[in-house]
Structure 1
Amino acid sequence: MTDGLHTLTVEATDKAGNKTTQTLDFTIDTRLSTPTITMDSRDDTGAIGDHITSVKRPGFTIGNIDSDAQSVILRITQGGNSQEVTLTPGWRTVALYARC
């Protein structure tokens, strides 16, 4: 079957010719949307869209998360080191501090 809404119908008939039916609508969803990450436009201080900033605490927006997603993991990688944060549903603020 393909992704999307489907209807399953069952019909039963007895020897006397009496019929009864029952239907069930169900959805097959085998795809997950690709999340988006955007730098807040006010923090993009280089050429527009180059994702270069001189802002020490830039803001980012994560979007396009399916409502039925079980988990979202945010991974920050710099210089071969990475840190993961598992996010639960709802609005979250994540602050990152780096020392050089």
Structure 2
Amino acid sequence: MVTLLGGHTVGIAHCSNVNTDTMTMGFPIQLMATCASGPNKTVDLDQGSPEVVDNEFYTQISLGRGVLKLDQDLPFHGLTSAVVSQYRENLEVLRADFAKAMI
């Protein structure tokens, strides 16, 4: 699942699903400003490079910039943190694993 969540690198979320309670300082303010126009407004799940399939999503969530609660927890859970670190550091491993997971 950690691998498949890499699809969030180009995904969006409705503001009604954004959890700002556990985010790093400053980031919730940015998202709340974006979502101020209503819960049907959308935000990019990858705040670094939302239109590129890359490993920036894993860097962003490691910095506490996950938009969804699920994404926020991945880098800090004992069962998933090592995989997040590996994907953050090695795009080729992510690409190979993602292709296998999709199949």
**TM-score normalised by structure 1 residue count:** 0.23
Q: Which has the higher strand share?
A: 1
Higher helix share: 2
